[in-house]
Amino acid sequence: MPSFDVVSQLDLQEVDNALNQARKEVLQRYDFKDTATVIDWDKKEKISIESKDDFKVKAVDDVLREKLARRHVSLKAVEFGEVEPGPGGRAKQEITLKQGIDADRARQIVKLVKDAKLKVQAQIMGDQVRVSGKKRDDLQAAIQAIRAYDMDLPLQFINFRE
């Protein structure tokens, strides 16, 4: 029976590349001279920016958004926190990377597929949703129905099997 999986994944290598590009740009720019700006990443889900003041943190935030967008990392999967005062009069910002589909959004996808009145079944499997049906055309219609609904996280359709 043909099927496919709906997932929300980030290419962590592209995130790492974007962070390295942002670090290089911060080192080269004159307005960041003597600010000791730091961009840290725990290689999973947290990125932290720390700099001299909140204006510098916001500038680094803009640079990082640009680099992520250029590397084709969806900004829907990146949650930018508020700029907060840090230790020693500095400012910092926490950025969270969202991966996987949570239970509420998975139920929303299943409901969307059912409301489309297609001859397919959708079931939640951990942090992904599997959609299966007898005809390939029905599965492609399900993909179009899911894409038409604007979710606040990037979705990929993988493991399309006949």
Rounded to an integer, what distance in angstroms lies between the CA atom of residue 36 and that of residue 52? 7
90 & 18 share domain: yes
Question: What confidence tens digit (pLDDT) does each residue in 121-157 have?
Answer: 888 988 889 999 888 888 888 888 888 888 888 888 8
Structure tokens at 154: 């990037």
pLDDT for position 70: 95
Domain boundary among 82, 97, 112: 97
DSSP 87-136: GGG-EEEEEEE--S--HHHHHHHHHHHHHTT-SEEEEEETTEEEEEES-H
Do 88 and 142 fall into the same domain?
no
Instruction: Tell me: do 115 and 79 sit in the same domain.
Output: no
The CATH number of the domain where 105 resides is what? 3.30.70.860
| pLDDT given for residue 61 in this prediction | 92
Report pLDDT digits (tens) over 76-119.
Answer: 989 999 988 877 888 999 999 988 888 888 999 998 888 888 88
